[in-house]
Structure 1
Amino acid sequence: MKYAFAMRVIMGVVCLGIVTFSQSRAISQEPDGDVRQERRGDRERPRDDERARDLERERDEDARRRERAVREERMEREIARERREGDRPERGNLEQRRRHVAEAIEQLQAAGLHDLAAEVRDKAHDQLAPGRRDAPGVPPGPDPELREHVEHLTNSMREMQNVMREVFENLAKSERVAQATEEAHQGLRELTEQVEHRSGDLERGLDRALRDATEELGRRSEELERHVGSRFEELERQFGQHVEALERQTAERFEKLERYIREHQQERD
């Protein structure tokens, strides 16, 4: 009976460690209110899927916590009953003790303490082996080795709780750093998008300016070509007029010269 009571104490300590582990993990996974407020203030984007997943995780965690609380309450009632019945001269129940040991081992394995679970399994195998004084038909008595083992497990659970608390505090700090890093990356991505958008606007502006300059140059070239053509036609017309005037003057001078020659020959005759 005392061995069963000791095993129930072990199970109580294990369940308490598991509950503390779950609560610490739940607290570490929840972002600070200031961080959530800054995130909402920086970016107002829909996160329905993420919120739904968070709600689902919270519901699962609440269900697990309620289940652990019910299990812990039931275990406390059993421990209290064992305390009340601890002074009765009863014979040990081997199957019940084995069942208690199996439950304690399952709790340790669920908490990830596989080495400790193996140690408890070995101890239970030695204590509950046939022919021991805790076997059926032999009244249970004080066991210093078992008491020492329970104290060792209790101290180990306290140390594990302290280590887990420190680990999850560091994890919470790391998550805050990761959130700040993600926000910085998001800001960098937004800045990159803005730069790309501005670059696209600048490129489109340059293309439009180049196209306008090309069109303006084409218009100026056409106007210059028309002006040069008109001036060439005007010069050609003026040159033709000068040539005609020169031809008339030359013809008149030849006529005058012919008359002068004829008159001079007539005078000589």
Structure 2
Amino acid sequence: MDLNGAAAIISGGASGLGEATARDLAAHGATVVIADLNEERGKSLAGELGGVFVKTDVSDEGQVQAAVDAAVAVGSPLRVVVNSAGIGWASRTVGRDGSPHDLASYRKVIEVNLIGTFNLMRIGAAAIARTEPVDADGQRGVVINTASIAALEGQTGQVAYSASKGGIVGMTVPAARDLAAVGVRVNTICPGIIDTPIYGTSPESEGFKAKLIAPVAFPKRLGLASEFAHLVRALIENDYMNAETIRFDGGIRFQPK
């Protein structure tokens, strides 16, 4: 599917993987709508890319509907939804002090990562379904969801995060089957350890990143956000990619800790 002249909405698009994706899609002719909570950064990036920013909590139905409405209103047909908003959390099911995992924190991670992803996918896909097909196959658009290799090999303390990301993987095939009727493809990317500003730039953070690199098979480094964005675009442009979960991790296999 050709991105040129299409609109794309990207949750979490103001930083990290979402920002890299917004930059890549805009560079290939898409009008990007950045749905994020970071208003200052989101507006600045949208202005730089000739796109639109909408302050959005992905777990809020009304805010997601407003963001999708803004994407529809840009004048280019909405063809792409990229879910990259998410939060992390680390806590054991039972702590070393014997206390159980905080339930409110578990609910929050599920609410943002899993329900938030489904929220934008369902509302965005409904808007895509109202557009005209772009080819003889009846294709109208693509949804790309972001999970994590923690969905497949969660480490100690990742029970909430892994559950949320595993839910995204689990809904990939049924969502793709559901949306086939309206010409929308669905794929999910499971990133490994990607070099984003979350790790910082101090000497201490560089030492921490060196430890993270150790179990990566090849290439022996962290992944780049630009490489993630390239994969997103490849999945959009390759019309036969559907209902797939793709590891993007340099061959890493997590140990328990």
TM-score (norm 1): 0.25
**The structure with more helix, counted as a fraction of residues:** 1
**The structure with more strand, counted as a fraction of residues:** 2
User: Which structure has more RCO (C-alpha within 8 Å, separation ≥ 6)?
Assistant: 1
Q: Which has the larger radius of gyration?
A: 1
TM-score (norm 2): 0.26
